[in-house]
Amino acid sequence: MGDSRRIYTQSEKDELVKLYEKSLEDLISSTKNMYEDISKLAIKVDYADLCNIVNGVANAFNDELKKMLIKNFDEWQQSEADIISITRKKEKDPILTDEAQKMEKKMQDSMNTILRERLETIPIKGTDADITPETEKRIVEMVKKTMNELEVLQEKYIKRVKRRSEKNAIYTDILPLVEGAYIMYISGLKQTLKQFKIFEEELAADLKKDTQIKRETRKTLSVSAGNAINLDLKKCDPFENI
């Protein structure tokens, strides 16, 4: 049976904050590793349209994807499922409520520090180097691998929070926060990465028409891919039914 106690010892507070920090660090690290791999390949083949798409992902990461994680934290607090709200309701102890406020502030500060990480866009030389379907396939596979890694991480941290909540009920409070962060972020990342799939399909279609891909047939795709990818935050909202 789970324990309903809400423990606020310094070690417990530190461990809870660290768990949240690590869940975000792994989320960002996995994305960063993927981006470094695909950007190296894009630079190597020196293909302008592909570089545009890669830069679109960097722009989305630096802007919209980070907004999603901040939005997730804000909505967790507003849903009254956060540590402060539940402590105030269950404990009715001003001292413990103050401890809860300090804990959430530390978590928020940690999140803001972690989100300072940025992805650098790659140079676009505007050359017409050849690209093969095999190259694009490798990139799509890199993307799929990362998406799988993120889903594994999501399950890992949800299990970890649930396991800790059996000994300390305060961990139950951060379950929707951790789970929501991964749900929103993965959903948003999938929106940005659709560009690679579209590009792969366009490339295959062009190759059927002509073995020498002509740049002018891809102008529309290149322009749209070069801009920051705008994500619809409403489609990535795990708190909408709370």
- What pLDDT was estimated at residue 239? 52
Contact 181, 66 (CB under 8 A): no
Contact 202, 75 (CB under 8 A): no
Quick count: other Cβ atoms within 10 Å of Cβ 212?
9
Q: Does some domain include residue 3?
A: no
Average pLDDT value for residue range 11-19? 95
| Count of the separate structural domains present in the chain | 1
Q: Does some domain include residue 23?
A: yes
Contact 225, 195 (CB under 8 A): yes
Confidence of residue 192 (pLDDT cuts 50, 70, 90): confident
Confidence of residue 231 (pLDDT cuts 50, 70, 90): low
Q: Which amino acid is at 4?
A: S
Contact 143, 34 (CB under 8 A): yes
Write out pLDDT tens, residues 68-77: 999 999 999 9
Q: Which amino acid is at 134?
A: E
Domain that holds residue 75: 15-236
Average pLDDT value for residue range 204-233? 53
- What pLDDT was estimated at residue 203? 73
Helix (H, G, I), strand (E, B) or coil at 47: strand
Q: Which residues contact 3 (CB under 8 A, 6 or more apart)?
A: 166, 167, 168, 169
Q: Over 70: is that where the pLDDT of 2 sits? A: no
Reading the block at residue 179, the tokens are 């789970």
Task: Find where tokens 């993927």 sit.
Answer: 34
Q: Among 175, 150, 173, which residue's Cα sits nearest to residue 161?
A: 175
Q: Does some domain include residue 242?
A: no
Reading the block at residue 61, the tokens are 């990461």
For residues 218-242, one letter each, b for 16 or more C-beta atoms within 10 angstroms of the residue's C-beta and e for the rest, the string is beebbeebbebbebeeeebbbbeee
Q: Does some domain include residue 10?
A: no
More confident residue, 230 or 219: 230
Q: Does some domain include residue 221?
A: yes
> Among the residues of the chain, which ranges form H helices?
10-45, 48-60, 66-78, 83-90, 94-114, 133-165, 170-209, 219-226
Q: Does some domain include residue 7?
A: no
Q: Compute the mean pLDDT over every residue in the chain, rounded to the nearest whole number.
A: 84
Give the CA angle between residues 41, 61, 146 to the nearest 5°: 55
Q: How far apart are the first and last CA of the chain?
A: 26
Q: Does some domain include residue 159?
A: yes
- What pLDDT was estimated at residue 97? 92
What is the total residue count of the chain? 242
Contact 87, 96 (CB under 8 A): yes
Q: Does some domain include residue 78?
A: yes
Quick count: other Cβ atoms within 10 Å of Cβ 117?
15
Average pLDDT value for residue range 170-185? 95
